[in-house]
Amino acid sequence: RLLTEERRALKDLQMVFVVLGGSGKNSPFYSPLKNVAETDLGIVTQCVTDQSITKRCNPATIVNILQKVNAKLGGINNTLPQSVKAIVFQKPVMVMGADVTHPAPTEMNKPSIAAVVASVDRCAFRYIAAFRIQKQNTVARARIEIIEDMKAIAKELLLGFFRANNGVKPEKIIFYRDGVSEGQFSQVQQFELGALRAACRELESGYEPGITFLTVQKRHQTRFMPQNSRDGCGKAGNVPPGTVVDTTVTHPVDFDFFLCSHFGIQGTSRPAHYYVLWDDNDFKADTLQRLTYSLCHTYARCSRSVSIPTPVYYAHHATKRAKCYVDARTDSSDSGSSSNNSMLPTCLLDDAVKLAQVMEEKMFFI
């Protein structure tokens, strides 16, 4: 109600700051707030906890909040190095990230959600997001990883790129896919890559941008240490950020590599494992590895490099945000029902993750 009144009173309202008591995102008000603000009213919000303001109001906390605010309002915190732009971004490029989140075993009334994000500027900092409910998961209650509505999502994001660039189409698409096991590589490549191509053709006859499709794996047991302990970083002596391993422990034929992109603060750093399933753009290994490492530096919420590329992180955040919308709808539905095991109808779930139009071009999800 308060947000609705503010929206009516202030036509040029750009952002609302909300102070939450206690545990922030675990607050019972967080999901309903994001749901109303982003799917109904079209208001960008920035939540902070009361402890962040009173007890932890240090420079690092303030910088982190302002980084989020700047990105949400359309600012640019950091950009790709010129060396990468000169090689990869000579022509329009769209960088995409995708992830699927699944409900906990106890959440019988919650669906799986797919989210895809895509860059819309020349420095791969500004991203837009699209969500979909995984229909098969709602029926079979199974963890289906393939993004079922990939073609519609891709068309939505491509149109967003067109609008942001005055009708210019990306000539290259670089797609980072999270959450896929090796046993699913063939299925994901066949279905999602095919859907992406179909989306391009439906938007314009003969439109076939070069697509590079990579998977990003974090759940593995591979670790690396420097040969000389004096070359180690931090207390744990980890390999320096930017370390790439693409021989000996990688596939003898396929194109894969390990990249440790972050500075490990505690314990042994876990590198991300990248597997190139398809590459129309014929990138050299060094070029793709350098691009991937550079994308680990464009994360709006951090001044350092992170462990996986920014589009993958954003896709993960987007699935969490869509889950907030679903939680707000299902929890309110449960309050008037004696059973909490019945899932909302598919049409209501689809409506739950539908953004207000003004939010479609904003980085509200970071």
What domains can you pick out in the chain, each with its CATH number?
1-57 (no CATH), 78-361 (3.30.420.10)
Q: For the range 68-75, what are the long-range contacts, defined as Cβ-Cβ under 8 Å and sequence gap of 24 or more?
A: 68/300, 68/301, 68/366, 69/15, 70/300, 71/125, 71/300, 71/301, 71/363, 71/366, 72/15, 72/44, 72/46, 72/362, 72/363, 72/364, 72/366, 73/14, 73/15, 73/44, 74/126, 74/362
In 3D, which of 235, 233, 252 has the Cα closest to residue 243?
233
pLDDT at 342: 64
pLDDT at 146: 93
pLDDT at 334: 56
CA distance 94 to 174: 6
Q: What is the pLDDT along the chain (366 residues), one digit of tens a residue?
A: 778 777 777 878 899 999 988 777 788 899 999 999 999 999 999 999 988 888 777 888 899 999 999 999 999 999 999 999 999 999 999 999 999 999 888 887 788 999 999 999 998 999 999 999 998 655 555 577 899 999 999 999 999 999 999 999 999 999 999 989 999 999 999 999 999 999 999 999 999 999 999 999 998 888 888 888 777 787 777 888 999 999 999 999 999 999 999 887 677 788 999 999 999 999 999 999 999 999 999 999 998 999 999 999 999 999 999 999 999 988 765 555 545 566 777 778 889 999 999 999 999 999
pLDDT at 338: 44
Place of tokens 């439906």: 202
What pTM value is reported for the model? 0.92
CA distance 223 to 231: 16
Tokens at 206, concatenated: 């003969």
CA distance 321 to 221: 29
CA distance 282 to 72: 34
pLDDT at 140: 52
